[in-house]
């Protein structure tokens, strides 16, 4: 397999050229990082419903108040030890900002891959607006910064507190299929039922939820009501199982148990932030 990376118009593009069937274990780390930056497609059209006993539809709420944001300078140099304090002093004069925390580049280099690295590993600020409606006003104020910076929303995950593990199901056109992963196929009804059964055999389950493309699209739109985000809040072609469990380390346990099961795309823990 060859992965060709190009950068037209300052946008990173990865093109995968499979030469042979690739073991899934070699693809998982790359996909786990890539999935955090990819959302889109058309809504799905099948219903899980009563065919899997005990699988619930998504909860009605609560819907998290989206007040989080990140401020950064998306360039090769980014914010430096000289420019970051200048920006911080300016941001602390913006009345709509309730709280603000600065992160240096050195701090972020020690974080796991894809932790808020919208523009690579960069110094940045994480803030909270006093009100969800204040975020666009803060973005307008930031345009006056003495050092050019940008604001992007840092959404709070709808599923945080409702589930602990996310299991994405393989869909048409998925990276696993495109990269020729061994044994990969679009999840069937029987696959989904087998996955749920395996989950129940592996960890203590409090609840299993099924999210179709329509609900995923609704959640995605709630993260970005004003397009101040790093993804396109359009239709989502994705079906996902969410597991609520009290088992410690459930994400790693389920990742190992479901690694080679047909229909499983990715397994990872639910975090407070979407990115």
Report yes or no: 269 and 159 within 8 Å, Cβ to Cβ.
no
- Phi, psi (degrees; rounded to nearest 5) at 15: -115, 120
- Alpha-carbon distance of 265 to 269, in angstroms, equals 14
pTM: 0.77
Q: Which of 252, 258, 62 is nearest to 269 (CA)?
A: 252
- Alpha-carbon distance of 192 to 167, in angstroms, equals 10
- Alpha-carbon distance of 163 to 182, in angstroms, equals 29
- Phi, psi (degrees; rounded to nearest 5) at 104: -85, 165
Helix (H) or strand (E) holding 126: strand 124-129
Q: Cis link prior to 62 (omega < 30° from 0)?
A: yes
For the domain made up of 68-153, the CATH class stated in words is alpha beta
- Alpha-carbon distance of 205 to 237, in angstroms, equals 26
* pLDDT tens digits in sequence order for the chain, 275 residues long: 333 333 344 333 444 444 444 455 555 544 544 444 333 333 333 334 434 568 999 999 999 999 999 999 988 889 999 999 999 999 999 999 999 999 998 888 876 644 566 777 889 999 999 999 999 999 999 999 999 999 999 999 999 999 999 999 999 988 888 888 888 899 999 999 999 999 999 999 999 999 999 999 999 999 998 989 888 778 899 999 999 999 999 999 999 999 989 999 999 999 988 86
Where exactly does CATH 3.30.70.3040 map onto the chain? Answer: 2-62+159-269
CATH 3.30.70.3040 fits 2-62+159-269, yes or no: yes
CA distances from residue 111 to 105, 117, 121, 224, 251 in whole angstroms, order as listed = 10, 10, 9, 25, 19
Q: Which of 244, 242, 224, 246 is nearest to 233 (CA)?
A: 224
- Alpha-carbon distance of 77 to 90, in angstroms, equals 20
- Secondary structure (3-state) at 151: strand
CA angle (46 as vertex; 40, 48 as ends), nearest 5: 110
Sheet holding 240-245, edge to edge: 55-56, 205-211, 240-245, 165-169, 264-269
């Amino acid at each position: 397999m060859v992965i060709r990376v190009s950068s037209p118009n300052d946008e990173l593009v990865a093109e995968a050229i499979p030469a042979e069937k690739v073991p899934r274990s070699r693809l998982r780390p790359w996909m786990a990082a890539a999935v955090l930056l990819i959302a889109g497609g058309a809504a799905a059209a099948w219903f899980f419903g009563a065919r899997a006993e005990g699988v619930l539809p998504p909860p009605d709420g609560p819907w998290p108040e989206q007040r989080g944001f990140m401020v950064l300078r998306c360039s090769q140099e980014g914010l430096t030890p000289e420019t970051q304090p200048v920006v911080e002093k300016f941001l602390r004069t913006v009345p709509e900002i309730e709280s603000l925390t600065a992160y240096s580049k050195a701090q972020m280099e020690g974080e796991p891959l894809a932790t808020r690295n919208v523009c690579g590993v960069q110094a940045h600020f994480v803030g909270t607006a006093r009100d969800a409606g204040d975020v666009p006003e803060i973005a307008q104020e930031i345009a006056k910064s003495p050092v050019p910076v940008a604001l992007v929303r840092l959404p709070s995950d709808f599923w945080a507190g409702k589930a602990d593990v996310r299991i994405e199901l393989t869909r048409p056109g998925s990276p696993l299929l495109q990269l020729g992963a061994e044994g990969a196929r679009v999840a069937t009804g029987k696959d989904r039922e087998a996955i749920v059964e395996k989950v129940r055999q592996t960890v203590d389950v409090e609840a299993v939820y099924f999210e179709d493309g329509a609900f995923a699209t609704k959640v995605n739109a709630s993260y970005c009501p004003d397009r101040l985000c790093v993804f396109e809040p359009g239709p989502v072609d994705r079906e996902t199982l969410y597991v609520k469990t009290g088992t410690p380390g459930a994400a790693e346990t389920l990742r190992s148990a479901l690694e080679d099961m047909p229909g499983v795309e990715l397994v990872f823990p639910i975090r407070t932030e979407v990115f």
